Chain A
Amino acid sequence: ILNVEQSPQSLHVQEGDSTNFTCSFPSSNFYALHWYRWETAKSPEALFVMTLNGDEKKKGRISATLNTKEGYSYLYIKGSQPEDSATYLCAPGFQKLVFGTGTRLLVSP
């Protein structure tokens, strides 16, 4: 059973702050790492799928990096906005995803 850890569990920042979260996962038998954003009462939204060591992906103000050798990924949000408030989930795997418990982000105006 994969052990996926995310930190911090929750984060409260002010609008305009930049922030980052960590996802740790077993480095053996790695295939892909998924990041999702999940807002209350909505579908989890796929942000990134990362497969290569050293991969960096960017979507607007959000970016992510991947280190498969040491088993971690960072998600960065530059200039946080209130609409970024959500739970951010990571999940290693292919098809059968194993999710961490997520980082709950609250951005205050």
Chain B
Amino acid sequence: SAVISQKPSRDICQRGTSLTIQCQVDSQVTMMFWYRQQPGQSLTLIATANQGSEATYESGFVIDKFPISRPNLTFSTLTVSNMSPEDSSIYLCSVGLAGGPGGEQFFGPGTRLTVL
């Protein structure tokens, strides 16, 4: 398993501003992912954070809105840019451990974002 921390745990932001969320893992991992859960919706994959290269975004998510950094194998950031109330969500990072059957993932505690 892996121990994952996220900062901040929650925030309330004004529309038009940006927020950067940090994800720290206690061991080196190859695969890191960013998800969000909008109110009443399912947990949805935003992107795969690749170390040393640009993140891979899922359909409906773009780099200009959700820029991601992955400077090393234990850390990643997700920025929510030019926020609107529709960005109010729980944002979670997760890591996949090599060798786990079926690609088991472990999640951080999440960042609860409210945009006013």
B105 touches A46 (CB 8 A): yes
* Residues in A neighbouring B106, C-beta threshold 8 A: 43, 46
Tell me if B115 is interfacial: C-beta within 8 Å of chain A.
Answer: no
- B77-116 vs A, CB cutoff 8 Å, 1 = contact: the mask equals 0000000000000001000100011111111111000000
- In the complex, how many angstroms separate the beta carbon of A87 from the nearest chain B beta carbon? 10
Which of these, B31, B102, B107, B108, contacts A32 with CB under 8 Å? Answer: B102
A98 touches B45 (CB 8 A): yes
B102 touches A43 (CB 8 A): no
Residues A42 and B109 in contact in the complex (CB < 8 Å), given A99-B44, A100-B42? yes
A50 touches B102 (CB 8 A): yes
B105 touches A34 (CB 8 A): yes
Tell me if B4 is interfacial: C-beta within 8 Å of chain A.
Answer: yes
Describe B's contact surface by its main secondary structure: loop
Tell me if B50 is interfacial: C-beta within 8 Å of chain A.
Answer: no
* Residues in B neighbouring A32, C-beta threshold 8 A: 101-103
B31 touches A95 (CB 8 A): yes
Size bracket, chain B contacts: 20 to 34
Interface size on A, residues (CB 8 A): 27
Q: Please count the residue pairs between chain A and chain B whose beta carbons lie under 8 angstroms apart in the complex.
A: 64
* Residues in A neighbouring B53, C-beta threshold 8 A: none
- In the complex, how many angstroms separate the beta carbon of B78 from the nearest chain A beta carbon? 16
A49 touches B101 (CB 8 A): yes
Tell me if B22 is interfacial: C-beta within 8 Å of chain A.
Answer: no
* Residues in B neighbouring A51, C-beta threshold 8 A: 101-102
B103 touches A94 (CB 8 A): yes
Tell me if B48 is interfacial: C-beta within 8 Å of chain A.
Answer: yes
* Residues in B neighbouring A1, C-beta threshold 8 A: 59
Which of these, A43, A91, A94, contacts B4 with CB under 8 Å? Answer: A43
Q: Which of B33, B96, B103, B106 neighbours the largest number of chain A CB atoms within 10 Å of its CB?
A: B103
Chain A interface (Cβ within 8 Å of chain B)? 1, 4, 31-34, 36, 41-44, 46, 49-51, 89, 91, 93-102
